[in-house]
Structure 1
Amino acid sequence: MHVLLCEDHDLIASGIVAGLTAQGAVVDRVGSASAAEALMRAGHFDVMVLDLGLPDEDGLKLLRRQRQAGNTLPVLVLTARDAVTDRVAGLEAGADDYLLKPFDLRELAARLHSLVRRTTGRAHNRIDHGPLCYDPSTRQTWLQGEGVDLSRREQAILHALLQAPGRVLSTDQLKDCVYGFDDDVESNALNVHIHHLRRKLGNGIVETIRGLGYRLGPAGKGA
Structure 2
Amino acid sequence: MQVLVVEDDELIASGLAAGLQAHGMVAVCVTTAVSAEQAIYAADFDVMVLDLGLPDQDGLTLLKETRSRKLSLPVIVLTARDAIEYRIAGLQSGADDYVLKPFDLGELAARIHAVVRRSKGRATQEITAGPLRLDPQYGQVWLNEKLIALSRREFDILIHLANAAGHWLAPSTLRDRVFGEDIQISSNALNVHIHNIRRKLGAEAIETSRGLGFRLGWRL
TM range (shorter): over 0.9
Mapped to 2, the partners of 1:176 and 1:70 lie a distance apart of 24
**8 Å contact from structure 1 (residues 44, 176) kept in 2:** no
Cα deviation, residue 145, structure 1: 2.4
- Per the alignment, residue 57 of structure 1 pairs with 57
Aligned to 2:119: 119
State the superposition RMSD in angstroms.
1.5
**CA distance, structure 2, for counterparts of residue 197 and residue 24 of structure 1:** 17
Deviation at 1:179, TM superposition (A): 2.0
Which residue is 2:203 aligned to? 203
What residue number does 1:185 align with?
185
Q: Does 1:104 align with 2:97?
A: no
Matching of residue 31 in structure 1 with residue 31 in structure 2: yes
Amino acid at match of 2:159: H
Does structure 2 retain, via aligned residues, the 8 Å contact 1:126–1:133?
Answer: yes
How many Å apart are 1:38 and its aligned residue? 1.7
Cα distance in 1 between the residues matched to 2:119 and 2:186? 31
Aligned-partner Cα distance in 1 for 2:151–2:26:
13
Which residue of structure 2 lines up, in the alignment, with residue 19 of structure 1? 19
Query: 1:45, 1:176 within 8 Å by CA — same for their partners in 2?
Result: no
Number of equivalenced pairs: 220
SS of the residue corresponding to residue 141 of structure 2 reads strand
2:126 and 2:70 mapped to 1: Cα distance?
29
Find the aligned partners of 1:38 and 1:180 in 2 and give their Cα distance: 16
C-alpha separation in 2, matches of 1:33 and 1:191: 36
For structure 2, the residue ranges without an aligned partner over 5 or more in a row are none
TM-score (normalised: structure 1): 0.93
Q: Deviations over 1:72-108 (max 9, x none)?
A: 1000000111111111111121111100111111110
Partner of 1:156: 156
Q: Quick check: 1:60–1:90 contact (8 Å CA) kept in 2?
A: yes
Report the counterpart of residue 10 of structure 1 in structure 2.
10
Deviation at 1:120, TM superposition (A): 1.3
Q: Shift of the alpha carbon at 1:45? A: 0.6
Deviation at 1:16, TM superposition (A): 1.4
Paired letter, 1:127: I
Q: 1:210, 1:64 → 2: CA distance?
A: 40
Task: Tell me if structure 2 keeps the 8 A contact 1:67–1:94.
Answer: yes
Q: 5+ residue gaps in structure 1?
A: none
Which has the higher mean CA deviation after the structures are superposed, 105-114 or 88-97? Answer: 88-97
Aligned sequence identity (%): 57
Deviation at 1:172? 2.7
Q: More deviation in 8-17 or 44-53?
A: 8-17
